[in-house]
């Protein structure tokens, strides 16, 4: 029996490890014996786990001949450990976005925010029977909230206290964030680049702070991100093998992504580009009706799932999709400021306090907000000395690498098109450019500092990692200048990730 199980665990060890971590996170947040430990005792457990992990990596790397798969497993294991303990040390009202509050399942109160939305489903067992625009956060599509409700009910069946069951909404988001990692690995392998390049790309996605902060959220951002990554992967699959089955996988991931959060619709642009390219080639081969039939099925499945909540609200409550906005009196409002101040590429750079202060009068440039929130979310710690200097250096380094990679990503996709990989190049080029354009348009429509938060464009981390893979691919490094450039950016990313991980571990914000 064990011999039969060995190939299974060897093939799916990353998934098995992630689900073990998911169960462990749930238990740490649900078992009173662990919950009642002091913060110092929990920190001690964390230190022991990290030390064990570091020791394991050291001896394996020194004394074992590890494959790239083995090294990727160790990288993902480190990311899973950090995510799990970050959730344990982060309450459902700590460092959240639009969380609202819940009062308990024993009353009939209807509370706002994502927590209130989930609580409503637990209390009443159905979607809101009023216009979702009447209460904050209820306008969001409900998939994440339904899954959270079911998980809370499941825990309470096993005797978990209500408060702890709600805390374990974060166990789900830890699971979503961790599952993004093997999906990312699958995407990187599709790029057909040198295996050793994958390690740094994987480290970027695994240890990027934006992915870690979102792993302890209670809102729908992390599940939307997972489904967006999945849609991205299935798009690549379809380009390799254009079957109806692969097309339906895209439709399901895109549809469920949109009914989790409409941000997932950003994948529609690169998909539409490669679909159009394929349709033109099919027309030339006189296979028009086959393509029409398959794309019609795709459209029905995607729209039927993805727009179902929008249609429901339109039919029952005569409400169009949109986002309830703050007033112009809000400190976050930036609509009355200069266009160059908001969207300019060379704004006055302020690094003394490298965190996002929310207030539009203090910081209004969307690119500064984007990079600050990508590294530190909207946390505003009271730091000084070495840690503050480390945060400043991190922000400067991230902005430099981000500016460089805007051009690198575009250049690499143009290179792919010229090489003959037209579909891949167009898929990545259109996808990346439209992420940037939709980000700008979103702020134009909703001119508030919160609209420029990195969580709305977290898919950009995939494009950055792919650009890093492509530019670092050894067979394409032909000149000394190219080699030096690759070395500089690789060491830049290593320095950035190392510095940020150290800051995240020791800055006492947990």
Instruction: Label each residue of 265-294 as H, E or C.
Output: HHHHHHHHHHHHHHHHHHHHCCCHHHHHHH
Regarding whether 169 and 34 lie in a shared domain, the answer is yes
Regarding whether 193 and 232 lie in a shared domain, the answer is no
CA 109 vs CA 112, 218, 219: distances in Å: 10, 20, 20
Q: What is the mean pLDDT of residues 42-49?
A: 91
Regarding whether 74 and 115 lie in a shared domain, the answer is yes
Final residue in a domain of this structure, among 157, 186, 219: 219
Tokens standing for residue 439: 């980000």
Q: What percent of the chain has pLDDT over 90?
A: 66
- Checking if the pLDDT of 129 tops 50, the result is yes
Q: What is the mean pLDDT of residues 280-304?
A: 89
Regarding whether 242 and 290 lie in a shared domain, the answer is yes
Regarding whether 345 and 330 lie in a shared domain, the answer is yes
Final residue in a domain of this structure, among 269, 301, 321: 321
Half-sphere exposure in the Cβ direction for 442 (13 Å, CA): 22
Q: What is the mean pLDDT of residues 255-259?
A: 95
Regarding whether 344 and 292 lie in a shared domain, the answer is no
Residue spans of beta strands (DSSP E) within 198-260: none
Contact assessment for residue 208 and residue 485, using Cβ atoms and an 8 Å cutoff = no
Give tens-digit pLDDT for 326-371. Answer: 778 888 999 888 888 899 876 667 788 889 888 888 888 999 999 9
Regarding whether 283 and 426 lie in a shared domain, the answer is no
Regarding whether 195 and 241 lie in a shared domain, the answer is no
Closest CA relative to residue 476, chosen from 426, 430, 411, 428? 411
Give tens-digit pLDDT for 478-502. Answer: 889 999 999 999 999 999 999 998 8
Task: Please state, as a whole number, how many other Cβ atoms lie within 10 Å of the Cβ of residue 332.
Answer: 19
Regarding whether 212 and 70 lie in a shared domain, the answer is yes
Average pLDDT along the chain = 90
Give the H/E segment covering residue 316. Answer: helix 308-317
Nearest-Å Rg of the Cα atoms of the chain is 23
Contact assessment for residue 468 and residue 486, using Cβ atoms and an 8 Å cutoff = no
Regarding whether 9 and 27 lie in a shared domain, the answer is yes
Contact assessment for residue 251 and residue 302, using Cβ atoms and an 8 Å cutoff = yes
Tokens standing for residue 367: 């690119």
What pLDDT is stored for residue 1 in this prediction? 45
The model's confidence at residue 2, banded by pLDDT at 50, 70 and 90, is very low
- Checking if the pLDDT of 6 tops 60, the result is no
Q: Which of helix, strand or coil describes residue 448? A: strand
Number of structural domains in the chain: 3
- Checking if the pLDDT of 10 tops 80, the result is no
CA 286 vs CA 276, 280, 295, 363: distances in Å: 15, 10, 16, 56
- Longest CA–CA separation in the chain, Å: 70
Q: What is the mean pLDDT of residues 73-101?
A: 92
Regarding whether 83 and 147 lie in a shared domain, the answer is yes
- Quote the CA–CA distance of 137 and 121 in Å, as a whole number: 13
Final residue in a domain of this structure, among 270, 303, 321: 321
What residues make up the domain containing 236? Answer: 226-321
Contact assessment for residue 342 and residue 365, using Cβ atoms and an 8 Å cutoff = yes
- Checking if the pLDDT of 436 tops 80, the result is yes
Contact assessment for residue 426 and residue 274, using Cβ atoms and an 8 Å cutoff = yes
- Quote the CA–CA distance of 241 and 423 in Å, as a whole number: 12
- DSSP assignment of 342-384: HH-SSPPP--SS-S----TTT---HHHHHHHHHHHTT------
Regarding whether 167 and 308 lie in a shared domain, the answer is no
Q: What is the mean pLDDT of residues 204-213?
A: 93
Task: Please state, as a whole number, how many other Cβ atoms lie within 10 Å of the Cβ of residue 326.
Answer: 14
The model's confidence at residue 7, banded by pLDDT at 50, 70 and 90, is low
């Amino acid at each position: 029996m064990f011999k039969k199980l060995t190939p299974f665990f060897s093939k799916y060890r990353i998934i098995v490890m992630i689900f073990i971590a998911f169960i462990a996170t749930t238990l740490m947040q649900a078992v009173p014996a662990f919950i009642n430990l002091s913060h110092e005792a929990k920190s001690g457990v964390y230190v022991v786990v990290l030390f064990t992990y570091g020791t394991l990596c050291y001896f394996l790397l020194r004394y074992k001949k590890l494959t790239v798969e083995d090294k990727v497993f160790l990288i993902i294991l480190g990311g899973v450990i950090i995510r799990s303990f970050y959730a344990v040390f982060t309450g459902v009202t700590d460092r959240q976005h639009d969380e609202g509050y819940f009062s308990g399942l024993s009353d009939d109160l209807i509370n706002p925010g994502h927590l209130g939305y989930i609580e409503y489903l637990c209390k009443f067992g159905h979607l809101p029977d009023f216009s979702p625009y009447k209460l904050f956060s209820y306008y969001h599509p409900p998939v994440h909230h339904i899954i959270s409700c079911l998980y809370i009910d499941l825990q309470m069946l096993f005797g978990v206290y209500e408060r702890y069951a709600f805390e374990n909404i974060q166990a789900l988001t830890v699971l979503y964030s961790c599952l993004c990692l093997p999906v990312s690995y699958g995407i990187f392998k599709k790029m057909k680049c040198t295996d050793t390049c994958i390690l740094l790309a994987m480290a970027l996605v695994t240890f990027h702070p934006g992915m870690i902060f979102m792993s302890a959220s209670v809102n729908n951002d992390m599940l939307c991100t997972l489904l967006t990554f999945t849609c991205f992967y299935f798009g690549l699959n379809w380009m390799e093998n254009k079957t109806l089955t692969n097309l339906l996988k895209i439709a399901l991931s895109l549809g469920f992504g949109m009914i989790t959060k409409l941000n997932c619709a950003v994948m529609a642009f690169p998909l539409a580009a490669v679909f159009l390219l394929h349709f033109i080639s099919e027309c030339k081969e006189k296979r028009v009706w086959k393509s029409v039939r398959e794309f019609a099925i795709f459209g029905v499945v995607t729209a039927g799932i993805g727009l179902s909540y929008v249609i429901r609200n339109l039919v029952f409550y005569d409400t169009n999709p949109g986002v309830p906005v703050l007033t112009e009196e809000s400190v976050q409002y930036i609509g009355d400021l200069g266009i160059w101040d908001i969207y300019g590429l060379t704004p006055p750079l302020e690094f003394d306090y490298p965190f996002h202060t929310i207030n539009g009068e203090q910081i209004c440039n969307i690119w500064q907000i984007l990079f600050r929130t990508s590294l530190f979310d909207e946390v505003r710690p009271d730091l000084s000395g070495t840690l503050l200097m480390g945060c400043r250096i991190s922000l400067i380094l991230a902005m430099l690498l981000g500016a460089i990679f805007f051009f690198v990503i575009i250049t690499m996709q143009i290179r792919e098109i010229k090489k003959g990989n037209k579909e891949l190049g167009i898929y990545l080029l259109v996808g990346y450019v439209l992420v940037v354009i939709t980000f700008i348009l979103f702020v134009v429509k909703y001119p508030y500092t919160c609209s420029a938060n990195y969580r709305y464009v977290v898919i950009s981390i995939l494009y950055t990692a792919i650009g890093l893979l492509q530019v670092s691919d050894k067979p394409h490094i032909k000149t000394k200048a190219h080699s030096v450039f690759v070395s500089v950016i690789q060491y830049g990313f290593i320095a950035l990730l190392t510095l940020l991980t150290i800051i995240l571990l020791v800055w006492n914000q947990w």
